[in-house]
């Protein structure tokens, strides 16, 4: 008889991964993510749709639409700025290439404009989505790929509002901010069919605004990646 989930760590494991088995450390990290979805101030944020296998891109789109996400049609400065920030995980992890944060952000802004020129292919699709969370706007970049090995890979990059970030930030008050950001170590999980990892970075908007002399479009950046077999795969 299956063991009944006990406590936040197991609940988070089931809620965010669809039941895939993860290591204990990974379950604890996902527990913290679950708190964002449960807290009243979180505006119903959770990463479940991006970390649960969907058999088609249409299924993924429909699930995100049901959560209030809609497609961004127009290339605006706020959208480009948010896309630039969600493209910064490598920098946050220490891979700056010897360049300043301002320099890397400029490169990311230029790259962000390319997303609006992307066209759908049969096995590769990208969407830029947005929704309101309190008084702020959140952005989500979704990439979906079916590989030649019949694996589906889904990557979601969120630029989160303070309303979505606040409950999770409270859980990590002991984190040390360095140059305006605090990075949660990447957590990995896998079972026989699916692999998943997530990376979370908190942003100290006031510190970053002061050092860069720009408005910071997000309070946290969350990146998730999921890989699993396509439904029509014949082993």
88 part of a folded domain? yes
Does residue 4 lie within any of the structural domains? no
pLDDT for the residue 128? 98
Q: Does residue 93 or residue 23 have the better pLDDT?
A: 93
DSSP string, 152-200: EEEEEEEEE-HHHHHHHHHHTTTPPPBTTEEEEEEEEEE-SS-EEEEEE
pTM, to two decimals:
0.77
Q: Is the pLDDT of residue 5 over 70?
A: no
Highest mean pLDDT among 11-15, 165-169, 182-186, 210-214: 210-214
Top-confidence residue, 107 or 19: 107
- Give the chain's domain count: 1
- What gap in Å lies between CA 169 and CA 148, rounded to an integer? 40
Between 136 and 94, whose confidence is greater?
A: 136
Residue 194 lies in a domain: yes
Q: Is residue 66 part of a domain?
A: yes
Question: Per the domain annotation, does 143 fall within a domain?
Answer: yes
Which structural domain range is residue 218 located in?
Answer: 48-229
Instruction: Say yes or no to pLDDT of 116 above 90.
Output: yes
Would you say residue 14 has pLDDT above 80? no
Bigger pLDDT: 14 or 165? Answer: 165
pLDDT at 43 (0 to 100) = 42
Mean pLDDT lowest among 14-18, 106-110, 164-168: 14-18
For residue 224 the two structure tokens come to 């998730």
Which residues touch 224 (CB under 8 Å, ≥6 apart)?
A: 47, 50, 51, 154, 155, 156, 196, 197, 198
Whole-number pLDDT of residue 191: 65
Please indicate, yes or no, if residue 204 is contained in any of the structural domains. Answer: yes
Residue 59: pLDDT band (50, 70, 90) is very high
* 208 occurs within a structural domain: yes
The verdict on residue 38 lying in a domain is no
| The predicted structure's pLDDT at residue 192 | 62
| pLDDT bracket for residue 157 (50, 70, 90) | very high
């Amino acid at each position: 008889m299956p063991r009944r989930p006990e406590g936040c760590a197991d609940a988070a494991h089931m809620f965010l991964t669809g039941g895939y088995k993860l290591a204990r450390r990974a379950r604890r990290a996902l527990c913290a993510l679950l708190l964002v979805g449960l807290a009243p101030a979180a505006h119903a944020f959770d990463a479940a749709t991006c970390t649960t296998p969907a058999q088609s891109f249409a299924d993924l789109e429909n699930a995100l639409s049901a959560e209030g996400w809609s497609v961004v049609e127009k290339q605006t400065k706020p959208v480009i700025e948010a896309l630039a920030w969600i493209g910064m995980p490598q920098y946050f992890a220490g891979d700056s290439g010897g360049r300043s944060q301002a320099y890397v952000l400029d490169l990311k802004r230029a790259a962000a404009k390319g997303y609006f020129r992307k066209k759908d292919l049969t096995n590769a699709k990208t969407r830029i989505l947005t929704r309101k969370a309190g008084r702020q706007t959140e952005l989500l970049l979704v990439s979906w790929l079916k590989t030649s090995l019949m694996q589906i890979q889904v990557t979601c990059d969120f630029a989160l509002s303070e309303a979505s970030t606040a409950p999770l930030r409270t859980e990590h008050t002991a984190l040390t901010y360095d140059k305006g950001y605090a990075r949660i170590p990447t957590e990995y999980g896998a079972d026989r069919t699916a692999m998943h990892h997530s990376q979370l970075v908190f942003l100290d908007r006031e510190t970053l605004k002061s050092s860069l002399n720009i408005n910071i479009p997000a309070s946290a950046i969350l990146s998730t990646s999921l890989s699993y077999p396509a439904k029509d795969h014949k082993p």
